[in-house]
Amino acid sequence: MSDIDMIRAAAARLKGHARRTPLLSSPFLDRIAGRRVWVKPECLQHTGSFKYRGGYAAVSALEDTARARGVLAYSSGNHAQGVALAAAQHGVPAVIIMPADAPALKIANTRALGAEVVLYDRAAGESREELGEALRGERGMALIRPYDEPQVIAGQGTTGLEIAEDAAAMGIARAEVLVCCGGGGLTAGIALALEAQAPGLRARPCEPEEFDDTARSLASGEIQRNARLSGGLCDAIITPQPGEITFPILQRLCGPGLVVSDEEALRAMALAWGRLKLVAEPGGAVALAAALFHAGRVEGDDVIVTISGGNVDADIFQRALSQYGDLH
Amino acid sequence: MSDIDMIRAAAARLKGHARRTPLLSSPFLDRIAGRRVWVKPECLQHTGSFKYRGGYAAVSALEDTARARGVLAYSSGNHAQGVALAAAQHGVPAVIIMPADAPALKIANTRALGAEVVLYDRAAGESREELGEALRGERGMALIRPYDEPQVIAGQGTTGLEIAEDAAAMGIARAEVLVCCGGGGLTAGIALALEAQAPGLRARPCEPEEFDDTARSLASGEIQRNARLSGGLCDAIITPQPGEITFPILQRLCGPGLVVSDEEALRAMALAWGRLKLVAEPGGAVALAAALFHAGRVEGDDVIVTISGGNVDADIFQRALSQYGDLH
């Protein structure tokens, strides 16, 4: 199981590989939220999302002989790129199973990073888990699950170590940390890191409407599924249900989930563009959207939010700017 | 005159105020340029451009009694915001003279940062220098020139100290440093910092076509003016001619100027968006455009480029994405 020692070990392996992202802010965002907003821009991470942390942590944790046979992953795109780059950096092959309706840029980037991409149709009910198991059997590759995987959670948790360190340096002892949440790997990792390093900071998962499985699961105390498995803008964080490993961690350590609309995610993307000069993808903007547009559901003088990724196709980004890009 | 001691003193005053920006990279950009490309993202600086460094350096260098009477600046927008925020942080008033055709977002932001904005018509030949002198006489405020001002050059030079430090840490002993150049404050400051701290690194000014006064001045050995004083997309770096203080520094320390088209600047903006998740404005993207699309005019295995600012209106950004945002 993931714990703080595993996160610290992952941080040691990631040193010199993962980017140490800062906490950014803007007085214009503070005014909207009514409190100070600190943004952890994981869109600036290698491959454009935090997923590189978990991918590298998992690939680097494999034993040499296992790693040499290559790695296998399924992903809507960000985990794909993170694992692909980590595999390339270790000189081993990668096969990535991606939904055919993933953003074209994510599929193209994954291939450009040297991985073999296998597409499946998620709307038709094809199971990426079954495809993954089959390929694992055929090729003997190590499967790196996107979130229900202790080394992946540990890698994502390094984000939380950095948040704890920067918050302490700025004198922030108490704050909520809003995290973009799909399967819960980033949220669980951050929550574990904060528990050990910054107990006054509490993680809260943020999700898009209609895909709020984690919020409903936390509220009911039992794992809930989403009615749909695709659709909406926030492809990066759409998963069937919370993970079996991640959910108990979230249940023990996180505050209630926050839910935002796709339109709020687009508005947050436009504000990240104009006020922070950062490119966020819709799923990567839900935590910022929660901080800005659901401020009444958040507590404290400071709020910390992740922008978990920036891998968005141009047409969606232009939609955010044409609707919400006029900031004056 | 500006020198390395003044730059080091500015760095000490800026500590804890200016953001320490990193050097970012992407394998996709390296492939286009045919060498490693390192990006200094000053769009992530406070107020969205490096100008905050010079503004803060100049305001903090004033004697208390002079500073208390407030500060005055003329600017197409980025210097305006940098001085406005620095003045607000020092608790003193700021009056900013801006062209009426500056990007609306820059004018709005300058006002929102607490400054009084006075607009003038640059196409009609109104002189911002004369307006500035008149207001200075009336109100007794200290004029902070955008580039021909030793403390401003020193503040911009702190960017060069950071580049020198990061290049040394990465083992880069020789490289060209491409700098977005208007009046030459950033270029001169970086050149002075590199001369002292990283003599194997050489600054080269980058400009847009039709506003290549610095490139022509360096080539001819005498200060040349631009035929036009406005127009084109790169508003941030359009100045009548190189500065009287900055030009001799450039002449002594810089390599030949590089010139890019507005379309190349837009392509570079789209690549910064897609590959680095950064928002660049056209004038802030000319150095990246030079590295990517004029690689034959650059030497070495590594090239370092500034993205000097990201304050761009949504319509221009959408134009960059609609024309060049399809990266796959």
Task: Show residues of chain A in contact with B44, CB under 8 Å.
Answer: 24, 276-278
pLDDT 10s digits, B142-177: 999 999 999 999 999 999 999 999 999 999 999 999
pLDDT in tens, A89-125: 999 999 999 988 888 888 999 999 999 999 998 777 7
Q: What pLDDT is stored for residue B124 in this prediction?
A: 79
Name the fold adopted by A51-143. Rossmann fold (3.40.50)
For the domain bounded by B4-48+150-324, which CATH number is listed? 3.40.50.1100
Residues of B in contact with A273 (CB under 8 A): 279, 317
B265 and A309 Cβ atoms separated by less than 8 Å: no
Mean pLDDT on B267-292? 98
The Cα–Cα gap between A47 and A109 comes to 8
**Whole-angstrom distance, CA of residue A313 vs CA of residue B321:** 10
CATH 3.40.50.1100 placement within chain A: 4-50+150-324, 51-143
Residue A162 CA: distances (Å) to CA of A88, A182, A213, A269, B39: 26, 21, 27, 23, 23
- Surface of B (138-197) touching A: CB under 8 A: none
Condensed to tens digits (0 to 9), the pLDDT of residues B115-125 reads: 999 999 877 77
Residue A96: its pLDDT value, please?
94
Give mean pLDDT, residues B302-328: 95
Contacts of A319 in chain B (CB under 8 A): none
Residue B181 has pLDDT above 70, yes or no: yes
Q: Give residue-wise pLDDT tens across range B20-72.
A: 999 999 999 999 999 999 999 999 999 999 999 999 999 999 999 999 999 99
B87: confidence class by pLDDT, cuts 50, 70, 90: very high
How many Cβ pairs closer than 8 A exist between chain A and B?
Answer: 84
Residue B328 banded pLDDT, cuts 50, 70, 90: low
Residue B108, chain A, CB below 8 Å: the answer is yes
The model's pLDDT over A131-181, given as tens digits with 9 standing for 90+, comes to: 888 888 888 899 999 999 999 999 999 999 999 999 999 999 999 999 999
Inter-chain residue contact A325 with B314, CB threshold 8 Å: yes
Topology of domain B52-143, per CATH? Answer: Rossmann fold (3.40.50)
Considering only the beta carbons, identify the residue of B19, B104, B279 that sits closest to A278.
Answer: B279
Tell whether A1 is within 8 A of chain B (Cβ).
Answer: no
* Chain B residues close to A279, C-beta within 8 Å: 273-274, 277-279
Summarised one tens digit per residue, pLDDT across range A235-290 is 888 889 999 999 999 999 999 999 999 999 999 999 999 999 999 999 999 999 99
Which among B199, B180, B225, B245 is positioned nearest to B42, based on CA atoms? B180
Residue A273 to residues A292, A321, B245, Cα–Cα distance (Å): 14, 9, 35
Which amino acid is located at B76 in the chain? Answer: S
**Chain A CA closest to residue B319:** A318
B325: closest CA of chain A, how far (Å): 5
Structure confidence at residue A229 (pLDDT): 80
Got the DSSP string for A179-193? EE-SSSHHHHHHHHH
Residue A219's alpha-carbon distances to A190, A223, A224, A246, in angstroms, are: 20, 10, 10, 16
Among candidates A108, A279, A326 on the partner chain, residue whose Cβ is nearest the Cβ of B314: A326
Share of chain B above pLDDT 70, in %: 100
CATH 3.40.1710.10 is held by the domain A4-50+150-324: no
Q: Which residues of A83-105 are buried (b: 16+ CB within 10 A; e: fewer)?
A: bbbbbbbbebbbbbbbbebbbeb
**Ranges of CATH 3.40.50.1100 domains, chain B:** 4-48+150-324, 52-143
Answer whether B109 sits within 8 Å of A328, measured CB to CB: yes
CA distance A247 to A250: 5
Mean pLDDT for A9-13 is 98
Chain B residue with minimum CA distance to A324: B314
The token pair at A232 is: 């909406």
Tokens describing residue A92: 């081993």
Give me the pLDDT at residue A162, please.
Answer: 98
Interface contact flag, B105 A22, Cβ < 8 Å: no
d(CA A161, CA A295): 25
Q: Which residue of B has its CA nearest to A19?
A: B24
Chain segment A290-321, per-residue pLDDT in tens: 999 999 999 999 999 999 999 999 999 999 99
Answer whether A314 sits within 8 Å of B328, measured CB to CB. no
Question: What are the C-alpha distances in Å from B2 to residues A97, A326, B183, B190?
Answer: 57, 39, 15, 11
pLDDT of residue B230: 79
Q: State the CB neighbour count (10 A cutoff) for residue A230.
A: 15
Neighbours of A61 (CB within 10 A): 21
Write out the two tokens for B116.
């009084």
Query: How far apart are alpha carbons A325 and B320 in whole angstroms?
Result: 14
Please tell me the distance in Å from B99's CA to the nearest CA on chain A: 17
In DSSP terms, B24 is beta-bridged to: B39
Residue A250 tokens, joined: 């979230």
CA atoms of A258 and A247, how far apart (whole Å) = 16
